């Protein structure tokens, strides 16, 4: 039972959240607080103002993923549970959540305009990179990350069979190689091959940059 809603408690202040992995989320909260880079400024200020205070993650309600439940349905159910907890605690003193919505504050036109500004985007990107400097990754974590990129669990590491518009079949070692051959991004090609995005010419709209793929097809090698 590692998924569910929780309260991050720092002294008399708290923050409501949800996660599919409470253990990892707890570690992330504590690490950010110790480094002074927690994204919630109110909970970070509460931590900084109380030297020696020990943060607590209080699990409130657990969620079990059903056998027939998709990842998206599971995440949506977690959000619903988080919203219920947030509604119950919204008027409690010490609440540090900024938004009444569990999905975060609305990203309106003003925020979208800010991110279209190249200077703002570059400044924020540089700041995020700077905040992540000095983060030490253990050798065990590195090995796990490397192992996760191998085998059939990673679509980019699986051979792909490509059939062009003339019917010629070509085998590629991975999605990345096929994407380079077709002149599209590997993320887009991964969506095509996995069936998450309609292949050019079969959906409602075909991108101008992918018209050369109309009549072609691709699938993972069996």
Higher-confidence position of 5 and 77: 5
What is the pTM for the complete model shown?
A: 0.47
Q: Are residues 16 and 87 in the same domain?
A: yes
- Residue-level pLDDT at 146: 67
- For 174, phi then psi, to 5°, come to -160, 170
CATH number at residue 192: 1.10.10.10
Among positive and negative, which fits the CA dihedral 62, 67, 71, 77? Answer: negative
pLDDT tens figures, 127-158? 777 766 666 666 776 777 666 666 555 656 78
Query: 14 and 93: one domain?
Result: yes
Q: Are 152 and 137 in contact (CB under 8 A)?
A: no
The Cα–Cα gap between 40 and 96 comes to: 8
CA distance 194 to 102: 30
Q: For residue 155, which of 197, 183, 125, 116 has the smallest C-alpha distance?
A: 197
What is the per-residue pLDDT across 42-98, written as a single tens digit (0 to 9) for each?
999 999 998 788 999 998 877 665 555 677 777 778 888 888 888 888 888 999 988
Per the structure, the count of domains in the chain is: 2
Is 81 contained in some domain?
yes
Q: What are the phi and psi torsion angles at 146 (to 5°)?
A: -65, -40
In a domain, 142, yes or no: no
pLDDT of res. 155 = 57
Q: Binning pLDDT at 50, 70 and 90, where does residue 4 land?
A: confident
- Residue 114 inside a domain? The answer is no
Domain with 71 in it: what CATH number?
3.40.1440.10
pLDDT score recorded for residue 102: 79
pLDDT at position 67 is: 54
Mean pLDDT of 110-114: 68
**Residue that terminates a domain, selected from 102, 132, 165:** 102
Question: Among candidates 97, 65, 69, 94, which has minimal Cα distance to 83?
Answer: 97
Residue 144 in domain: no
Q: What is the pLDDT of residue 112?
A: 67
- With a cut of 70, say whether residue 23 has pLDDT above it: yes
Q: Are residues 97 and 159 in the same domain?
A: no
86 domain residue, yes or no: yes
Query: Above pLDDT 90, what percent of the chain?
Result: 28
Q: What is the mean pLDDT of the chain?
A: 82
23 shares its domain with 87: yes
For residue 97, is it within any domain?
A: yes
Final residue before a domain boundary, out of 84, 102, 120: 102
Tell me, yes or no, whether 10 lies in a domain. yes
Q: Does 207 map to a domain?
A: yes
Residue 217, φ and ψ in degrees, nearest 5: -155, 160
Claim to verify: residue 19 and residue 97 sit in the same structural domain: yes
Residue 100 is predicted with a pLDDT of 78
| 161 vs 152, residue with greater confidence | 161
The parent domain of residue 184 ranges over: 155-220
- 10 with 85, same domain: the answer is yes
Which of the pair, 189 or 129, is modelled with greater confidence? 189
Task: Output 196 or 8, whichever has higher pLDDT.
Answer: 8
Instruction: Answer yes or no: do 86 and 171 share one domain.
Output: no
Quick one: pLDDT at residue 56? Answer: 92
Q: What is the pLDDT of residue 172?
A: 93
Do both 87 and 160 map to the same domain?
no
């Amino acid at each position: 039972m590692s998924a569910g809603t929780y309260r991050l408690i720092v002294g008399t202040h708290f923050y409501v959240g949800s996660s599919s992995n409470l253990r990892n989320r707890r570690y992330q909260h504590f690490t950010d607080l110790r480094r002074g880079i927690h994204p919630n400024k109110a909970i970070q200020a509460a931590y900084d103002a109380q030297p020696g205070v020990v943060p607590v993650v209080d699990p409130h309600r657990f969620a079990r993923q059903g056998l027939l439940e998709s990842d998206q349905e599971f995440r949506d159910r977690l959000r619903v549970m988080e919203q219920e907890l947030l509604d119950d605690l919204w008027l409690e003193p010490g609440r540090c959540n900024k938004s009444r919505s569990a999905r975060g504050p609305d990203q309106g036109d003003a925020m979208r305009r800010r991110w279209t500004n190249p200077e703002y985007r570059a400044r924020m990107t540089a700041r995020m990179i700077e905040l992540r400097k000095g983060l030490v990754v253990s050798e065990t974590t590195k090995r796990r990350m490397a192992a996760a990129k191998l085998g059939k669990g990673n679509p980019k590491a699986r051979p792909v069979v490509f059939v062009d518009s003339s019917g010629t079949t070509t085998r590629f070692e991975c999605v990345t190689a096929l994407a380079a051959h077709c002149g599209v991004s590997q993320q887009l090609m991964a969506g095509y091959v996995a069936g998450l995005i309609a292949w050019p010419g079969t959906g409602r709209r075909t991108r101008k940059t992918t018209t050369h793929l109309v009549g072609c097809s691709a699938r993972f090698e069996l």
